Amino acid sequence: MNIWEKEVSALLSKVQQTSPLVHNMTNVVVTNFTANGLYALGASPVMAYAPEEVADMAAIAGAVVLNIGTLNRELVDAMITAGLSANAHGVPLLLDPVGAGATRFRTESAQRILREVKVSLVRGNAAEVAHLVGEAREIKGVDAESSGDIGNAELAVRAARELDTLVVITGKEDVITDGTDVRIITGGHALLTKVTGAGCLLTSVLGAFAAVESNLLLAGTAGLAFYGAAASRAAERTADLGPGSFQNAFLDELSKLHPGSLQGYAAIREAAAA
Ligand code: ATP
Ligand code: TZP
Ligand code: MG
Ligand code: MG
């Protein structure tokens, strides 16, 4: 086990032992999958949206995850209320800017959230993150279409500095950075792109790790590595069967993660900041 694996493995055990409450304000497509994925990991999910209760729920959560996948004006207002409460109570706040760049409302809503509350970590595909900092990259609905002029690591560093938050860009390889340190995590499987909510669940999984570790660069690295490992393990058993079997196997593998699960299935390396 290398140094990274030791550090991140301790966090997996902490998630499994303490079962942190993750308050999700997510989209209607992925709600059930997100709750089941968090249960499989060992965390406790709750979905709560009412303006009357989101501040109270955020205050008692281990992490709050805002996901704009099926947004409307009232929901974004409620997300700001939850975010302010998370900030006031020292609860890590994560943002998944689903579809930013696809419509002006999505881009502006994500930017509004980033302006009005202190987001601890943003996780998106490369196109979504690019649009948050005013760079155009092709996006089809919620899916990133192509890579842009600059690489994902460079884009993530730029976004982290401009938005003053940790940034995770996912794809074939995942990048996490606080604007200074950059880590690349490999693992996962292309079948994840055929399961809706694979990105959304990941953001909530990062919330579970953020709930147990205040060093969010380390927490995020752990979440990415174990998520990728669970997916590679599931694909090993089901890739020939297709996305339905893979999705179920993936939930099973999330529930079976242990400190040794990374070996041969996910890797973490450091990259130089641009
Ligand atoms: P998109 O809508 O563009 O698919 P997303 O929000 O669903 O974005 P992804 O970038 O697909 O998020 O990331 C979700 C998970 O899938 C991450 O764990 C990521 O590492 C993994 N993943 C995505 N593409 C691949 C790939 N080609 N090979 C391996 N893993 C992948
Ligand atoms: N449409 C609106 S939200 C959503 C779709 C298909 C789910 C997106 O999930 P992910 O995790 O980004 O694939
Ligand atoms: Mg995807
Ligand atoms: Mg997504």
What CA–CA distance (Å, rounded) separates 189 from 154?
23
Return the ligand number nearest the Cα of 139.
1
* pLDDT tier, 222 (very low <50, low <70, confident <90, very high otherwise): very high
What CA–CA distance (Å, rounded) separates 266 from 244?
22
Nearest to 259 by CA among 38, 86, 62, 14: 14
Per the prediction, the chain carries an average pLDDT of 95
Q: What is the CA radius of gyration of the chain?
A: 17
pLDDT at 85 over 70: yes
DSSP 148: -
Ligand 2 contacts CB of residue 196 (under 6 A):
yes
Count of other CB atoms within 10 angstroms of residue 273: 16
Taking the centre of ligand 1 as the mean of its atom positions, its distance from the CA of residue 232, in whole angstroms, is 12
Tell me the pLDDT tens digit for each residue of 227-249. 999 999 999 999 999 999 999 99
Ligand 2 contacts CB of residue 197 (under 6 A):
yes
Ligand 2 contacts CB of residue 25 (under 6 A):
no
- Using CA atoms, how far residue 237 sits from 22, 202, 241, 252, 253, in Å, is 29, 21, 9, 11, 10
Name the residues around ion ligand 3, CB cutoff 5 A.
193, 198-199
**One-letter amino acid identity for 95?**
L
- Alpha helices (runs of H) in 136-197, residue ranges in sequence order: 152-163
Name which residue sits closest to atom 12 of ligand 2, judged by CA: 199
Return the ligand number nearest the Cα of 137.
1
Tell me the pLDDT tens digit for each residue of 23-55. 999 999 999 999 999 999 999 999 999 999 999
Ligand 1 contacts CB of residue 254 (under 6 A):
no
Taking the centre of ligand 2 as the mean of its atom positions, its distance from the CA of residue 123, in whole angstroms, is 13
Q: What would the two tokens of residue 4 be? A: 């990274």
Residue 125: strand, helix, or coil: strand
Whole-model pTM over 0.95? yes
What CA–CA distance (Å, rounded) separates 227 from 187?
8
Ligand 1 contacts CB of residue 140 (under 6 A):
no
Ligand 1 contacts CB of residue 190 (under 6 A):
yes
Can you give the pLDDT at residue 175? 97
Can you give the pLDDT at residue 149? 58
Q: How far is CA 88 from the centre of its chain?
A: 22
Ligand 2 contacts CB of residue 124 (under 6 A):
no
Ligand 1 contacts CB of residue 188 (under 6 A):
yes
Give this complex's ipTM: 0.98
Can you give the pLDDT at residue 160? 98
- Using CA atoms, how far residue 98 sits from 11, 33, 226, in Å, is 27, 16, 22
Can you give the pLDDT at residue 1? 63
Cβ proximity of 139 and 128 under 8 Å: yes
- Using CA atoms, how far residue 129 sits from 96, 126, 161, 208, 272, in Å, is 10, 5, 12, 22, 20
